[in-house]
A and B are shown apart, each in its own frame.
Chain A
Amino acid sequence: DTGVSQNPRHKITKRGQNVTFRCDPISEHNRLYWYRQTLGQGPEFLTYFQNEAQLEKSRLLSDRFSAERPKGSFSTLEIQRTEQGDSAMYLCASSLGTGHPGDTQYFGPGTRLTVL
């Protein structure tokens, strides 16, 4: 059983550059989530998709951030004009999408972004 995969695992970029991350969920999972985790903190929710529809976006997701899941399979998270404050671990998770509170989210290994 293949888990959630994320690419790249590490990304170093200069301030002002654009970056894009990719997430491939578990194949039968309908929901896909993005979280951001800064050092010493728990993950913070950014956005999630039910199939290809983006159902919720956090206030953390400024207009420099955009996420897509065009065919309801993999997803991309793009950050435009990166800032040093964007340095964090970006985690992707997927779930079956039952809507029940116990709909368990399984996480990928994360993409660690460093903005110089």
Chain B
Amino acid sequence: AQKITQTQPGMFVQEKEAVTLDCTYDTSDQSYGLFWYKQPSSGEMIFLIYQGSYDEQNATEGRYSLNFQKARKSANLVISASQLGDSAMYFCAMRVYNQGGKLIFGQGTELSVKP
């Protein structure tokens, strides 16, 4: 069965510092995609970054990068130069190619950025 695990319920980071949010996944399929979403208190899920299972390089999108370690089945999100607006829930999700269209989400990590 496919599963996403986020072991950090809450994280604190000082403004302008970098922070890593952990995500491990479980699947026996070889073709899958990993996603990170941000959910502010308003509720909308905002897409941040995507990593494909066959991608050899780690994905980057502005201040976001994904530390993909396939052998360890981990896909950690790194946010550089944290800003106050980064305070939100962060969800890791997986889509397996031959399992239809659904995303499987972890339980999320609540990030608080301190001034």
Binding site for B on A (CB under 8 A): 31, 33, 35, 40-45, 48, 50, 55-56, 58, 89, 91, 93, 95, 97, 99-110, 112
| Interfacial chain A residues near B53, Cβ < 8 Å | 101
Q: A108 to B33, alpha carbons, bound, how many Å?
A: 21
Q: Which of the four size classes fits the interface of chain B?
A: 20 to 34
Q: Are the CB atoms of B108 and A42 closer together than 8 Å?
A: yes
Are B102 and A45 in touch, CB under 8 angstroms? yes
Interchain nearest-CB distance for A27 vs B (Å): 18
Q: Are A102 and B33 in contact (CB under 8 A)?
A: yes
The total of Cβ contacts below 8 Å across the A-B interface reads: 74
A101-B52, A107-B37 known; A89 and B43 CB under 8 Å? Answer: yes
A31 touches B101 (CB 8 A): yes
Enumerate 6 A-B pairs (CB-CB under 8 Å) in ascending A order. Answer: A35-B103, A42-B107, A42-B108, A56-B100, A101-B32, A109-B42
CB-CB < 8 A to B44: which residues of A?
107-110
Pairwise interchain contact B105-A110, C-beta atoms closer than 8 A: no
Contact among A41, A93, A107, A109 with B107 in the assembled complex (CB-CB below 8 Å): A41
Q: How far is the CA of A91 from the CA of B89 in the complex (A)?
A: 15
Residues of B within 8 A of A (CB): 4, 31-33, 35, 37, 42-47, 50, 52-53, 91, 93, 95-97, 100-108
B44, B46, B101 pick with most chain A CB within 10 angstroms: B101
Q: Considering the complex, give the chain B residue whose CB is closest to the CB of A49.
A: B101
Residue of B nearest to A110 (CB): B43
In the bound complex, residues from chain B placing their C-beta under 8 Å from that of A110 are 43-44
Contact of A55 among B91, B101, B108 (CB under 8 A): B101
Q: How far is it, in angstroms, between the C-alpha of A88 and the C-alpha of B47 when the chains are bound? A: 21
Residue of A nearest to B46 (CB): A107
